[in-house]
Amino acid sequence: MDYQFLKVEHNEGVTVLKISAPKSLNALNSTILRELDHCVDHLDGTRVLIITGDGEKSFVAGADISEMVHLNQEQGREFGRLGAQVFRKVELLPMPVIAAVNGFALGGGCELAMACDIRIASSKAKFGQPEVGLGIIPGFSGTYRLPKLIGQGYAKEMIYTGKVIRADEALRIGLVNAVYEPDELMAAAIEMARKMVANASIAIGLAKRSINEGYDLDADAAIALENDLFGQCFSTADQKEGMDAFLNKRKPHFTNS
């Protein structure tokens, strides 16, 4: 499918998805959200997904205020539900998702980055949930994910004040994993993705499921879930291949089966 606001490139199991709406600094409108929804449903052959923004200034500058300004209560609820559902779909993808945050990640942009498994950032990136300055709250699950990532106290400060933080501060509080110079960001994302592609995709998917589903469970339930998923690994050809390769001191050749 040809997208109006997305650029998608596939290369040896790695898909790079760029949000491209330069006039609005890649702000999310309903069309972009629906295109994202379609795209994440059609990632055949993708073993790692990288999401980034097109251009040098912005990852995603937020949701499109020009679309939101005239919404009534029910329309606002539906717009929020659309964004939340798409981001939840990103979060539940069976493959790793890396956010390469190349610039502004504000509002919906910060929320999209948080729906990804791993966030790395350009030194010029800026993060924030400034919605209260517009008379609204984060609407694409920001009040849920931000406290889980950085703790309630700092999340409440960011959301209540609408403060925007730089990449080095995002790194300090654990919102991102690493910070790179702008011209090194995508190379770093690709390198990380390649390391993931070299491992067993089914095992990575099961590990992701164990982390995501186990996070909100009590300890006994989370450990039981992990034990079940650990057992499932032994039904795969990749487990046999990986262990045989280890014992015979050779490089494994995983087939995702």
User: How does pLDDT run across 64-86, given as a tens digit for each residue?
Assistant: 999 999 999 999 999 999 999 99
Q: Report the pLDDT averaged over residues 162-170.
A: 98
Residue 1 has pLDDT above 90, yes or no: no
Q: What is the CA radius of gyration of the chain?
A: 19
9, 78, 131, 226: the catalytic one is 131
Judge residue 96's burial from the number of C-beta atoms within 10 Å of its C-beta, 0-12 exposed, 13-18 middle, 19 or more buried: buried
Nearest partner of 47 among 194, 242, 238, judged by Cα: 194
Q: How confident is the model at residue 20 (pLDDT cuts 50, 70, 90)?
A: very high
Q: Is 131 a catalytic residue?
A: yes
pLDDT digits (tens, 9 = 90+) for 108-119: 999 999 999 999
Residue 42 has what pLDDT? 97
Residue 9 has what pLDDT? 97
Residue 173's alpha-carbon distances to 68, 128, 161, 179, 211, in angstroms, are 31, 13, 17, 13, 20
Nearest partner of 108 among 56, 152, 59, 172, judged by Cα: 59
CB 142 within 8 A of CB 111: yes
Residue 243 has pLDDT above 90, yes or no: yes
pLDDT digits (tens, 9 = 90+) for 98-110: 999 999 999 999 9
56, 74, 78, 111: the catalytic one is 111
Judge residue 44's burial from the number of C-beta atoms within 10 Å of its C-beta, 0-12 exposed, 13-18 middle, 19 or more buried: exposed
Kindly write down the DSSP assignment for every residue of 209-232, as one continuous string: HHHHHHTTS-HHHHHHHHHHHHHH
Say which amino acid occupies 182.
P
Task: Supply the mean pLDDT for the chain.
Answer: 97
Q: Is 169 a catalytic residue?
A: no
Vertex 64: Cα angle to 121 and 143 (nearest 5): 60
Say which amino acid occupies 45.
G
Phi then psi for 72, rounded to 5 degrees? -90, -175
Residue 136 has what pLDDT? 98
CA distance 176 to 224: 29
Q: Which domains does the chain have, with CATH numbers?
A: 6-197 (3.90.226.10), 201-247 (1.10.12.10)
Residue 72 has what pLDDT? 97
Residue 56 has what pLDDT? 87
